[in-house]
């Protein structure tokens, strides 16, 4: 199959389809998936206490994200093959069924298993809506529609900790999962409007060897990176996981090159817009979302705030991303030009990261919020634009696979970046805590409640230790966005089609 765009086949939406109704269904589905990313984190301490599983707390998070990462390209290919509406409703059914099972879990092993199944459903809810937009909207208009889809994740980031905490404190943590059922059934009812979209289907079979190899490669890579930050892990195990990741990664690429129905079409990487989009996706994943997880703890420890106040520090970042994502989408739809957004956005993001590196413990908290808003504005300006550029460079019959592959690479960036930054931060904090001059045990320096009970002068000393361990991460972040600038410089700007997407 050729991956060169061609103006031959007409792929218009089904007659009479109302894009507004379909779009509302997609927004509801994306919101459901986005809420589940973070709502469980609020309930997790209660879950651990009831199920007596402190040692296995990370399993609940890792099981979901790993299954989701693996599932993304699979849904992309299956959507291209069997039609995206059918695969999206299937993913929604899996997600809702697993949510019910999670609420009935009796131990951490069961909960982790059910969360993995839920992650397989969540993968489809995350990647298929963007591909369905490509079925309905010509490339030049897509960024305008993809921007609000991206904003939904920002909204979920803001409200999910509040919702999760309220549910846990009132009706119990199990309803954090069961609440998905009524919301999901509404989304499922709305999703039937998707079947008025003409399904774009490919031919041939499913690349089962590719799915198997990709799954083993991903598990080995994530396992190696995650375990490398844990103390006491045997070096032989880490070397074995690294070796498995290398071997199965190479085998996966070889199989995909030879496959007639590849899970991730390797030919798409002959297109510079796709290569640039993939690279920028990794930059966004590793450079932003992997650091966001640590910002509230930094604010808690340095500014001696409560957990709820510290969590609000993400609000400027999220609002900045939402504003620029929608504005850049509107501008691209008006002008048809997009290269300036990743170029300027990466440069401004690097500058914001450098400014964050220069923070001091006494810097007013509103200044931190302003810099984070600037970082959010910069990243949001091109977060969805790169997907549009990649979709525009590919024929419509593989747009699902391309979109899902980009999501897979970005999610890998998030997972690997989180492990690397987390390990770097933990190592620097442990070193600083062990040699502190305050006469405090290391366990006290990392306990926000204990720190708030200390005298003001001692709190200032703890803030210096914590800042010295955390702020250097922003220097690495600036370098990552510097790579984004280089990728953007070499990004070719192709004309965005104003009519319907067509295939060869």
The 8 Å CB, 24+ separation contacts for 41-50 are 41/161, 41/164, 42/160, 42/161, 42/164, 42/165, 42/168, 42/176, 43/164, 43/165, 43/167, 43/168, 43/173, 43/176, 46/168, 46/173, 47/111, 47/173, 48/108, 50/173
What is the distance, to the nearest Å, from the Cα of residue 202 to the centroid of all Cα atoms in its chain? 27
490, with CB counted inside 10 A (0-12, 13-18, 19+), is exposed
Distances (CA, A) of 293 to 221, 382, 421, 422: 21, 21, 10, 9
Q: Give the CA angle between residues 367, 485, 487 to the nearest 5°.
A: 145
Backbone phi, psi, residue 496, to 5°: -85, 125
In the block, residue with structure tokens 């305008």: 144
Q: How far apart (Å, rounded) are the C-alpha atoms in residues 350 and 448?
A: 30
pLDDT of res. 271: 82
Cβ atoms 413, 284 nearer than 8 A:
yes
Region for residue 454 given its phi and psi (left: phi exceeds 0; alpha: psi -120 to 50; beta: otherwise): beta
Is 416 in contact with 66 (CB distance < 8 Å)? no
Secondary structure class of 382 (helix, strand, coil): coil
C-beta of residue 192 within 8 angstroms of C-beta of residue 22 = no
| 3-state class (DSSP) for residue 9 | strand
The pair of structure tokens assigned to 433 is 């805590």
Tokens of 233: 């892990």
The pLDDT of residue 378 is 92
Note down pLDDT in tens along the chain; length 504 residues: 444 443 333 344 444 456 777 788 888 888 888 777 667 766 766 776 677 655 566 677 778 878 888 888 888 878 877 788 888 889 999 999 999 999 998 888 888 899 999 989 988 988 888 778 877 777 767 767 777 776 777 677 667 766 776 787 788 888 888 988 888 888 888 777 666 555 555 555 678 888 899 999 988 988 888 777 666 788 888 899 999 999 999 999 999 888 877 888 888 888 888 888 888 888 888 777 767 767 777 787 788 776 667 767 778 888 888 888 888 888 888 887 888 899 999 999 999 999 999 988 888 989 999 999 999 899 888 887 888 888 777 776 677 778 778 888 887 887 777 777 777 777 777 776 666 666 666 666 666 667 677 777 777 877 888 888 788 888 888 999 999 999 988 888 777 766 544 443
In contact, 30 and 88? CB cutoff 8 Å: no
The structural domains of the chain, with segments of one domain joined by +, span 9-207+259-503
Yes or no: say if 101 and 51 are a contact pair by the CB < 8 Å rule: no
**Which of the following CATH numbers is that of domain 9-207+259-503: 1.20.140.10, 3.40.720.10, 1.20.1250.20, 3.10.20.90?**
1.20.1250.20
- How many Cβ atoms sit within 10 Å of the Cβ of residue 212? 15
Distance from C-alpha of 479 to C-alpha of 491, rounded to nearest angstrom: 19
Cα gap 272→389, rounded to integer Å: 10
Say how far residue 439 (Cα) sits from the centre of its chain.
Answer: 40
């Amino acid at each position: 199959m050729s991956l060169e765009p061609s103006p031959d086949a007409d792929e218009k939406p089904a007659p009479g389809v109302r894009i507004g109704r379909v779009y509302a269904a997609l927004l509801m589905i994306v919101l459901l998936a986005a809420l589940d990313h973070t709502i469980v984190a609020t309930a997790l301490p209660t879950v651990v206490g009831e199920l007596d599983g402190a040692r296995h707390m990370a399993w609940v998070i890792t099981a979901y994200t790993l299954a989701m990462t693996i599932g993304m390209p699979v849904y992309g290919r299956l959507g291209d093959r069997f039609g995206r509406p059918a695969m999206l409703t299937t993913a929604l059914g899996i997600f809702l069924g697993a949510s019910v099972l999670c609420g009935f879990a009796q131990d951490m092993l069961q909960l982790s298993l059910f969360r993995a199944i839920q992650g397989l459903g969540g993968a489809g809810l995350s990647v298929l809506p963007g591909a369905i937009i490509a079925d309905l909207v010509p490339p030049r208009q897509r960024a305008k529609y993809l921007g609000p889809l991206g904003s939904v994740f920002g909204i979920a980031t803001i409200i999910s900790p509040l919702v999760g905490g309220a549910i846990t404190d009132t009706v119990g943590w199990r309803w954090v999962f069961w609440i998905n059922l009524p919301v999901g059934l509404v989304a499922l009812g709305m999703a039937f409007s998707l079947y008025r979209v003409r399904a774009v289907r490919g031919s041939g079979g499913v690349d089962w060897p590719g799915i198997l190899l990709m799954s083993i490669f991903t598990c080995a890579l994530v396992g190696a990176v995650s375990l490398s930050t844990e103390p006491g892990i045997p070096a032989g195990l880490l070397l074995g996981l690294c070796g498995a990741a290398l071997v199965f990664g190479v085998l996966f690429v070889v199989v995909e090159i030879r496959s007639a129905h590849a899970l991730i079409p390797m030919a798409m990487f002959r297109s510079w817009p796709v290569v640039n989009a993939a690279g920028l996706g990794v930059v966004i994943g590793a450079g932003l979302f992997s650091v966001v997880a640590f910002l509230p703890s930094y604010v808690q420890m340095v500014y001696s705030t409560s957990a709820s106040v510290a969590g609000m520090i993400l609000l400027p970042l999220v609002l900045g991303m939402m504003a620029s994502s929608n504005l850049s989408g509107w501008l691209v739809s008006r002008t048809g030009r997009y290269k300036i957004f990743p170029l300027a956005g990466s440069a401004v993001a690097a500058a914001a990261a450098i400014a964050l590196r220069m923070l001091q413990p006494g810097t007013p908290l509103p200044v931190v919020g302003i810099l984070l808003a600037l970082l959010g504005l910069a990243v949001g300006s091109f977060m969805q634009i790169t997907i549009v550029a990649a979709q525009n460079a590919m024929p419509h019959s593989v747009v699902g696979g391309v979109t899902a592959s980009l999501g897979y690479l970005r999610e890998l960036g998030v997972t690997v970046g989180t492990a690397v930054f987390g390990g770097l931060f933990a190592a620097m904090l442990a070193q600083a805590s062990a040699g502190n001059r305050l006469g405090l045990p290391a366990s006290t320096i990392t306990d926000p409640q204990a720190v708030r009970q200390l005298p003001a002068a001692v709190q200032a000393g703890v803030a210096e230790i914590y800042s010295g361990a955390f702020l250097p991460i922003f220097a690495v972040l600036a370098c990552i966005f510097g790579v984004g600038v280089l990728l953007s410089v070499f990004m070719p700007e192709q004309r965005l089609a104003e009519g319907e997407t067509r295939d060869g």
